[in-house]
Structure formats: C-alpha cells, structure tokens
Amino acid sequence: LPVIRSQNSPDYTPDAKFYKVEAILRPWRIQQVSSREKALLKMGIRGVTVSDVRGFGAQGGSTERHGGSEFSEDKFVAKVKMEIVVSKDQVEAVIDKIIEEARTGEIGDGKIFLVPVSDVIRVRTGERGEKAERMTGGRADMSVTALT
Ligand code: ATP
Ligand code: GLN
C-alpha cells in the first residue's frame, strides 16, 4: 500500500511541481532584492508579483508607532509582499537569495511562506505546467549560454 501521510503527521509536506515563494519584506529592501544586477534576475527569475501590504508581527508598531498599545489599525506596518512562482528545484535558491538580500538582522525583516502550486497557466497561449512556468530570459535560456 502507498504511504498516505495525513496533515497531522509531522513529516507531511504537500508535494508539488511548482511552489509560490511568498515573502513579506521591508519596502525599502525590495529594490535590492529584485534589481537587475543583483539577486533574482541574475538567477533567471523573470516573473514576480509585488504588492504593497500592511502587516502586524513581532515588530508591531515599535518603529512606526503612532501611540496606543492595543492590536489596532495604527500598529500595522507597511510591508511589501513579493510572490514568485518557480519550479520545485528553484525554491531553495530563491529563498536563500531573498534572505541574503532582505536581511538586516533587526526585528521586522519579514517572513517567507512556501505555498505548493498545482498548476501554472499562461493566458496568452493556454499553455500549462512547465511550458507556462518557463519564461523568456529565464533559467532554461540561461543554461544555453552556460550560466547554469
Ligand atoms: P506572455 O509571454 O504572454 O507575456 P508571461 O508568462 O511573460 O506571458 P505576463 O503576462 O508577462 O507573463 O505576466 C503577467 C503578470 O503575471 C506579471 O506582471 C507578474 O505580475 C505575474 N507573473 C508572471 N509570472 C510570474 C511568476 N512566475 N511568479 C509570480 N508572478 C508572475
Ligand atoms: N523557472 C522559470 C524559468 O527559468 C522562471 C520562473 C520565474 O521567473 N518566476 O524560465
């Protein structure tokens, strides 16, 4: 019989071909994470979605406090959410790179969530799966020019 892991099992990890790396980061660090010379573009990452968000974590409103000590609207801190869908074998490299570029060591550096993604569909062509995930100038193109 196949081993079926329940979500209550400590070693349960949803397996997927693609994952979304969802990083909540300091807004002023985003430039460094995504800039062309550095980081992600250099690794062949071409598809990224960024949104302005507001969040509450250990940082609370400690550096941007407007007064008040309750869990209230004025304690939410401006953050940027960066979402990158990649194939499974790119996940760890992307996470390492984001940490390397986004970390200051101070409270409020952010958090990364790893989300299994069941499919990728390119709207223009209707392509699915690997074909849709692959991008012009991405890793597949780079390896042709021996960048790996
Ligand atoms: P096309 O070849 O038709 O241009 P594409 O695959 O290059 O398709 P776009 O249509 O340029 O994709 O992408 C639209 C938006 O989707 C982007 O602006 C970006 O926000 C988001 N996006 C695309 N690919 C990814 C990805 N792998 N991860 C996260 N966001 C992505
Ligand atoms: N893995 C894709 C490629 O190498 C790129 C994925 C992405 O840009 N998010 O083409």
Q: What is the pTM of this model?
A: 0.83
- Reduce the DSSP state of residue 97 to 3 states and report it: helix
Question: What's the confidence (pLDDT) of residue 84?
Answer: 97
| Angstrom distance (rounded) from CA 90 to CA 45 | 9
| Angstrom distance (rounded) from CA 40 to CA 94 | 7
Q: Which residues is 18 bridged to in the sheet?
A: 87, 117
ipTM score of the complex?
Answer: 0.90
Instruction: Give me the amino acid identity at 112.
Output: I
Candidate of 136, 139, 144, 145 to mutate for ligand 2, largest count of ligand atoms within 8 Å of Cβ: 139
| CA nearest ligand 2 atom 2, residue | 134
The model's pLDDT over 51-65, given as tens digits with 9 standing for 90+, comes to 999 998 877 755 544
Q: Which ligand places an atom closest to the C-alpha of 82?
A: 1
How remote is the CA of residue 132 from the centroid of ligand 2, in Å?
9
The model's pLDDT over 78-132, given as tens digits with 9 standing for 90+, comes to 999 999 999 999 999 999 999 999 999 999 999 999 999 999 999 999 999 999 9
How remote is the CA of residue 64 from the centroid of ligand 2, in Å?
36
